[in-house]
Every structure is written in C-alpha cells, then in structure tokens.
Amino acid sequence: MHGRYIKFLFEISGWFQKLLKSRLLSAQDEEEAKVTKPSMASVCNVSASAVSSPGTAQSKPLHPPSALSSQQRWSKKYDVLVCNSLVDSDIEEALRLVSFLEASPRGLRCFLQQRDDCPGGAASTELCQAVQNSHIWALLVTPHFLQDDWCKYIMHLALAEGFMSHRIIPLIQNLTCSQIPPELKFFFHIDLNNNPERGYSLLNQTVLQYLKELVKK
C-alpha cells in the first residue's frame, strides 16, 4: 500500500512537470512571435508612411511652367514677325525659316506678311498691329530688302517700337557686313550666307531666351 502511494506521487509529480514545461514553451513561443513577426497594424502603418512620406514620386512638386507656356508669352499674338521682300527668292527663304520655327518641337507662332495679312485690310494697319503683337522682329535683310519700301517701313516701325530692346534680329543674306543698313549696324545679327539652318536654330534659341527673360520679370 505504501509503495503504491509513493508511485502515485511520482506520477502526479511527472504530470505537473510536463504541464509546467508545456506552459513555459507556449509562453516562450509567444514572446518570440512578438519579436520576429510585426503585427498587421504595424505593416499597414509602415506602408502608409512609405506612400505619404516626402521625397516619394507622388509628393514631388510639379515642374514650373516653361517659357512657351507662360502668361507673358501669350500676352502677344506672335512670337516672331518675319519681314522680307516680296521677291520670289526672299519669299522662299522666309517660308523655309517660318516652317522651321513653327515645326514641332519648336512650335513658335510666326507672322509672315504674304501669308497672314487679312484680305481686304489696309496693309499699313495690318503691319502696325503685327509689329505691336510680336515679341521678336526678324528682318530678312537682303539686297532686295534694302530696295523695298515696305521692308524699310516695317524696320522703322520695329525700331520705334523697341529700339535697343533685344527684340530686333537682323538676318543677313547675300550681303557683307559693310552693306548692313546703318540703322541695324549696332544690332546682333545672324548670318544666313553659309549655313541657313544653323541660323534658323540660332534665331529659335534667341526667341526662347527672350521669352525666358520675360518670365523672370
């Protein structure tokens, strides 16, 4: 009887040890789970903060408007007024220039008298309005230009409108520097004699630079 009692006590003791051991292991597993596995709420918080934190693509400020989309540019109807004589060779050169400036990606707005004058309107009125509504005045100065009274008229209109304002750009073709009209000798000019397309690109850059300066004012 006494031996059975002792055996019973040993069995009870072993059962309590197993129960205690299983409780300790369960508690240890829970602690490890808390350390190694973040909660769903913390994952959501991290994801939300990553999306809304500054420096991400969504929070970057938009690029400021370019010179071509500024209000200052659209304050006038034309970016460039091209003045040329009505001799065929000069008209062809002016059309090539305008086609270059208006083509994508440049997209400048040009006024060309023989193309854009309003039918039935007074030539002097149309030209005065075009000069006033243009940012830059590009004068295609050729031997025929020097003999054309309308070209001289537009040149003097431009000089009166914005003398020494960086808005008058003489384009010299089939002339030497000594043949440039006295009124234009002190203006920066573009030489179209050797490489016309390079001159077109230079005029485009000059117009863009002028429009950028308008934005800064």
pLDDT digits 0-9 by tens, 16-29: 455 545 554 455 55
Q: What is the H or E stretch that residue 159 is in?
A: helix 149-162
Q: What local confidence, expressed as pLDDT, does residue 153 receive?
A: 92
Q: How does pLDDT run across 161-211, given as a tens digit for each residue?
A: 877 678 999 999 999 989 999 999 889 899 999 999 999 999 999 999 999
Residues in CB range of 167: below 8 A, 6 or more apart = 135, 136, 137, 158, 161, 210
Phi-psi category of 185—alpha, beta or left, where left has phi over 0 and alpha has psi -120 to 50?
alpha
Q: Which amino acid is at 46?
A: V
E strands within the chain?
78-83, 110-112, 134-141, 168-172, 190-191
* Residues of the chain with confidence (pLDDT) below 50: 2-3, 5-10, 16, 20, 24-25, 33, 35-64
Q: What is the H or E stretch that residue 216 is in?
A: helix 196-216
Cα separation, 66 vs 212, whole angstroms: 8
Distances (CA, A) of 64 to 19, 95, 209: 71, 33, 16
Distances (CA, A) of 193 to 5, 45, 118, 189: 124, 68, 32, 12
Q: What local confidence, expressed as pLDDT, does residue 62 receive?
A: 44
Nearest to 94 by CA among 139, 158, 154, 146: 139
Q: Rounded to the nearest 10 degrees, how much is the dihedral formed by the CA atoms of 136, 141, 147, 149?
A: 0
Q: What local confidence, expressed as pLDDT, does residue 117 receive?
A: 81
Q: Does the predicted model carry a pTM greater than 0.95?
A: no
- Scanning the structure block, which residue is given the tokens 């020494």? 164
Q: What local confidence, expressed as pLDDT, does residue 63 receive?
A: 44
**Domains in the chain with CATH codes:** 78-216 (3.40.50.10140)
Q: What is the H or E stretch that residue 4 is in?
A: helix 2-36
